[in-house]
């Protein structure tokens, strides 16, 4: 334990000081990512004034996290951010979420996607990989490169050990990320075993930022499982079985962690557990709930297509009823607005059904109606951007023209000469830019 700790600390310190590439720590709230985060933070404390390179903490909130896990992670990261600010460390916390049209409920209820399975795990890409990638890509864009620290360990499984051993490492023990350009991966605790992880966390408790690890241990005891890792690519293991994952997860046959929480006394989670089981075992396999053609119009024999409009409405009503039963918000307003936009396109010609259902179950729909106007405008903008790319037109100029006609010169404030002058300026800038590229 003493030797591996020393080697880990030396590797972290030498890599931190070796270049200017910022660090990204993938944090999920479980023991392994907590250990990596604590070791990194202790390094910042040790370096003190020399700790000048940015460290970004990226944590994924899928919007359907178990409520006790989500509360713990948010509290922990708030304390971390406050302590780092007090110490003037260049540490930045990013709790990433899927956009409304990437969210679980929009895709299931809005578009009718069948709930995920092990062979159709669309949730990982939409709800975890894309939100994390947006932050990391922006950091790479600003700094030219990045080093991502993850909490994988060889002793987790034989497959994990084979994967770790098969990679090509540079002289600093780093390997390239297969999907993110200019990103290197560091696995500082790859050789730690589980007992060593727990031993260190509880010998060095609380964490330097004040979080007590006993709460996390109790979560593990209750769930009788592990953690759900931050997903940065499709090779990331599914949360499945005993891992902490989304309360809506239908990839696994039995949500062991949720069942463990309930068996340990968290009976308020029972309605969520039952609804998740109903989604997986009753609604998804029911051919009467599924369409006979896919969203692209191709045949889907045997009820293998998306959920029918009636099924989508039924799922939404059951979810809204579940909110009343649990006294918790389970679907966000912006998700409801996007669902209405999708339903209007698919089958709801009046464009009001979601709002009517929301009102029926006590949700405030006034803001939703305002959001819908914005959603419709954004969707038109997206279409224009797609057409611009198809015809090889720089989307910047399309965006500038849209801003002129939508915001600066709307019909209620139309000044034809001023609009014409501004449009000409945009065109002149576009022509000048194109000529510069050709030269």
**pLDDT tens-place string over residues 232-266:** 454 554 443 345 679 999 998 888 888 888 888 88
Question: Is 92 in contact with 56 (CB distance < 8 Å)?
Answer: yes
Q: Count of alpha carbons within 13 Å of 312, Cβ hemisphere only?
A: 28
Q: What is the arithmetic mean of pLDDT over 267-275?
A: 94
3-class state of residue 103 by DSSP: coil
Residues 6+ apart with CB under 8 A from 338: 100, 101, 103, 106, 110, 375
Q: What is the pLDDT at residue 388?
A: 57
**Pair of tokens at residue 131:** 């939100």
Share of the chain above pLDDT 90, in %: 53
Q: What is the pLDDT at residue 437?
A: 47
**How many other C-beta atoms are found inside a 10 Å radius of the C-beta of residue 400?**
17
For residue 57, which of 8, 90, 99 has the smallest C-alpha distance? 90
274 pLDDT band, cuts 50/70/90, is very high
Is residue 392 scored above 50 in pLDDT? yes
Is residue 13 scored above 50 in pLDDT? yes
**Pair of tokens at residue 306:** 């998306």
173 vs 165, more confident: 173
DSSP state for residue 102 in the 8-state scheme: G
For domain 2-107+122-244, is the CATH number 3.90.1150.10? no
The 3 state secondary structure assigned to 112-161 is: CCCCCECCECHHHHHHHHHHHHHHHHHHHHHHCCEEEECCCCHHHCHHHH
Q: What is the pLDDT at residue 301?
A: 75
Is residue 123 scored above 80 in pLDDT? yes
User: CA angle, 111 as apex, 108 and 117 as ends, to 5°?
Assistant: 40
26 pLDDT band, cuts 50/70/90, is very high
Q: Give the C-alpha separation, 148 to 27, whole Å.
A: 11
Q: 264-276 as b/e, with b when 16 or more CB fall inside 10 Å?
A: eebeebeebbebb
Q: What is the pLDDT at residue 208?
A: 96
For residue 217, which of 238, 241, 199 has the smallest C-alpha distance? 199
Q: What is the pLDDT at residue 219?
A: 82
User: How far is residue 423 from each of residues 212, 386, 409, measured CA to CA in Å?
Assistant: 59, 21, 11
Q: What is the pLDDT at residue 316?
A: 98
Q: Give the C-alpha separation, 18 to 109, whole Å.
A: 49
Q: What is the pLDDT at residue 107?
A: 95
For 355-390, write each residue's pLDDT tens digit: 999 999 998 766 555 555 566 555 555 655 565 555
3-class state of residue 179 by DSSP: coil
Q: What is the pLDDT at residue 284?
A: 94
Residues 6+ apart with CB under 8 A from 125: 234
Is residue 147 scored above 90 in pLDDT? yes
Q: Give the C-alpha separation, 358 to 336, whole Å.
A: 8
On average, the pLDDT of the chain sits at: 84
Domain boundaries, the chain: 2-107+122-244, 373-438
Q: What is the pLDDT at residue 239?
A: 43
For residue 177, which of 126, 142, 132 has the smallest C-alpha distance? 132
For 45-87, write each residue's pLDDT tens digit: 999 999 999 999 999 999 999 888 899 999 999 999 999 999 9
List phi, psi (to 5°) of 348: -90, 90
Q: What is the arithmetic mean of pLDDT over 147-160?
A: 79
Beta bridge partners of 307: 290
Share of the chain above pLDDT 70, in %: 77
Q: What is the arithmetic mean of pLDDT over 417-436?
A: 67
179 pLDDT band, cuts 50/70/90, is confident
Q: Give the C-alpha separation, 242 to 215, whole Å.
A: 18
Is residue 424 scored above 60 in pLDDT? yes
Q: What is the pLDDT at residue 230?
A: 47
Question: Is 138 in contact with 322 (CB distance < 8 Å)?
Answer: no
Q: What is the arithmetic mean of pLDDT over 195-206?
A: 92
Q: What is the pLDDT at residue 64?
A: 94
User: How far is residue 295 from each of residues 201, 242, 354, measured CA to CA in Å?
Assistant: 49, 34, 20
DSSP alpha helices (H): ranges in 224-288? 256-263, 270-278
Beta strands 146-149 and 55-60 are: unpaired
């Amino acid at each position: 334990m003493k030797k591996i700790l020393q080697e880990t600390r030396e590797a972290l310190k030498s890599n931190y000081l070796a270049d200017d590439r910022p660090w990204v720590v993938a944090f999920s709230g479980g023991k392994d990512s907590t250990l990596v985060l604590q070791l990194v933070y202790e390094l910042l404390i040790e370096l003190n004034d020399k700790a000048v390179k940015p460290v970004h903490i990226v944590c994924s909130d899928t919007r359907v996290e178990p409520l006790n896990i989500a509360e713990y992670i948010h509290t922990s990261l708030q304390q971390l951010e406050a302590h780092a600010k007090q110490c003037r460390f260049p540490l930045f916390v990013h709790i990433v979420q899927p956009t409304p049209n990437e969210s679980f409920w929009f895709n299931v209820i809005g578009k009718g996607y069948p709930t995920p399975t092990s062979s159709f795990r669309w949730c990982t890409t939409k709800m975890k990989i894309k939100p994390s990638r947006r932050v990391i890509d922006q950091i790479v864009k600003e700094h030219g490169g990045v080093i991502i620290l993850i909490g994988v360990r060889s002793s987790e499984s034989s497959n994990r050990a084979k994967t770790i051993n098969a990679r090509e490492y540079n002289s600093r023990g780093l390997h390239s990320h297969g999907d993110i350009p200019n990103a290197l991966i560091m696995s500082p605790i790859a050789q730690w075993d589980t007992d060593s992880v727990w031993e260190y966390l509880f010998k060095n408790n609380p964490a330097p930022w004040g979080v007590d690890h006993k709460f996390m241990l109790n979560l593990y005891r209750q769930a009788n499982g592990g953690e759900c890792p931050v997903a940065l690519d499709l090779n990331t293991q599914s949360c499945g079985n005993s891992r902490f994952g989304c309360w809506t997860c239908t990839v696994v046959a039995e949500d062991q962690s949720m069942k463990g929480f309930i068996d340990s006394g968290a009976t308020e989670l029972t309605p969520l557990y039952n609804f998740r089981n109903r989604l997986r075992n009753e609604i998804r396999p029911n051919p009467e709930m599924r369409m006979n053609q896919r969203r692209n119009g191709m045949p889907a024999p045997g009820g293998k297509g998306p959920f029918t409009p009636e099924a989508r409405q039924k799922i939404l009503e059951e979810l809204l009823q579940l909110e009343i039963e649990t006294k918790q918000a389970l679907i966000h307003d912006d998700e409801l607005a996007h669902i209405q936009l999708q339903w209007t396109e698919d089958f709801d010609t009046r464009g009001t059904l979601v709002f009517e259902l929301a009102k029926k179950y006590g949700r405030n729909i006034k803001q939703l109606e305002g959001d819908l106007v914005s959603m419709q405008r954004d969707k038109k903008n997206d279409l224009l951007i797609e057409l611009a790319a198809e015809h090889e037109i720089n989307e910047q100029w399309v965006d500038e023209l849209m801003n002129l006609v939508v915001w600066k010169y709307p019909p209620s404030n139309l000044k034809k000469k001023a609009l014409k002058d501004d449009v000409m300026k945009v065109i002149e800038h576009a022509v000048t830019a194109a000529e510069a590229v050709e030269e």
